[in-house]
Amino acid sequence: MFFDLYNYWIVFVLMMIGLYMVINQSNLIKKLIGLNIFQTSVFIFYISVGKVNGGSAPIFSSTETLYSNPLPHVLILTAIVVGIATMALALALVVRIKKAYGTVEDSELQEKDPKC
């Protein structure tokens, strides 16, 4: 009973690692990788919620009667692609920052531009 929830725990551990990277790493690219990990942990969380014991993939077939929940799959499917698109946008911003300031380190950025 207690270990029924292990899946969610993995999710939260991953989530915390991602959050740690976002907060504590000063390199912007590293931050983005952390963000990606965070994102994936949320994906895993959704898919875990949709899982049904003994169920199978939600593609109709004559031999199966129990399926996993298709709704989270749909949400996550689109979220992954949207995630990569927004990530690309973020990376583009990083490249621009590099061009403008010559660095992608958080601390150096703050020194160069105290306003931000």
Partner 1 sequence: MTAIAIARTTDLFAAVMLSGIYGLVSASFFVALDAVDVAFTEAAVGAGIFPLLMLVVLGVTGRYEKTALKPQKAALMKKVAVVITMVITGGLLILGTMDMPAFGDPEAPAQQHVNIRYIEQSPEEIGIPNMVTSVLASYRGYDTLGEVLVIFTAAMGVLALFSSQLFVTRKLSVKIKKDDMHDHNVLRIVSKILIPLILLFAFYVQFHGEYGPGGGFQAGVIFAAGIILYTMLYGLDKARQVIKPGVLRVLCALGVFIYGCTGVVSMLSGGNFLDYSVLASDPIIGQHLGILVIELGVGITIAAGMILIFFAFSHQAESQLGEE
Partner 2 sequence: MLIMLAVVLLTVMVMALARALLGPSIYDRILAVNLFGTKTVLLIAVMGFLFGRPDFLDIALVYALINFISIIGVLRYFEYSDSKRIEGEP
Pick one of 1, 59, 85, 116: the residue that binds partner 2 (CB under 8 A): 59
**Residues 6 or more apart from 106 whose CB is under 8 A from it?**
26, 27, 28, 31
The answer to whether 47 and 72 have CB atoms below 8 angstroms apart is yes
Tokens in use for 37? Answer: 């990990």
Residue 45: CB minimum distance to partner 1, A:
10
Residue choice 57, 71, 89, 93 for contact with partner 2 (CB under 8 A) = 57
Q: For residues 54 and 115, which CB has a smaller minimum distance to partner 1 in the complex?
A: 54
- Pick the closer one to partner 2 by CB: 1 or 59: 59
Q: Are 9 and 67 in contact (CB under 8 A)?
A: no
Q: Does 62 bind partner 2 (CB under 8 A)?
A: no
